[in-house]
Amino acid sequence: MNQYPHPIIAREGWPFLIGSIAIALLLSAFVGGIAELLAWIIVLFVVQFFRDPPREIPQDAGAVLSPADGRIIKVERTQDPYGQSEAILISVFMNVFNVHSNRSPVDGTVEKVQYFPGKFVNADLDKASAENERNAVVLKTADGRVVTFVQVAGLIARRILCYVKAGDTLARGQRYGFIRFGSRVDVYLPLDAGVKVSIGDRVSATTTILAVLP
């Protein structure tokens, strides 16, 4: 799969940006006032939501990178229901002001991609991982370790986009998907991973190291 070119605005956002600018221009020309102001505020919101800046990729050996911008809301030992193994779960919650481009946490080959329809409860809740609409990517590293990362829809997130399939090769930091309007990403790691983050930490996609694999 080709590397994403990292424009200023994510490709998923261009239809929204063009549409909001067109409406704002029309309101500016024919209406003005509060309607015009609100329209341009919406344009600014669209720009900030769909921004997709390039990121420096840490080259530390064994580094597991954050797949999303946001806040750590869970670090615990649990069962990986997609990779079928005991695992350490690290969950990153994204609000509407975070960058919503999702990136691979490690290098490896995609073993499978599973999509599950579901609810749209607040992604900050524990039950969101099991009940919400979600898309899981199970990846195997060169040394045979299984790392699973799951895009989870949120209260107002209504579209999960994933651009990889079984057999694809991903490089750490490579863009593989997008979630629109607030959600979370769950990362399941082998039990011997050395976790580097704590609940409440703010993280950035690609640049923050979540854990280190031995």
Nearest to 195 by CA among 209, 176, 178: 209
Q: Which two tokens stand for residue 15?
A: 């239809």
Active site residues: 183
Q: Which residues lie across from 147 on neighbouring strands?
A: 139
Distances in whole angstroms, Cα of residue 80 to Cα of each of 52, 61, 129, 195: 29, 24, 11, 16
**C-alpha Rg value of the chain to the nearest Å:** 18
Q: How far apart are alpha carbons 150 and 65 in whole angstroms? A: 14
The string of DSSP codes covering 148-209 is EEEEEE-SS--EEEE---TT-EE-TT-EEEEEESSEEEEEEE-TT-EE---TT-EE-TTTSE
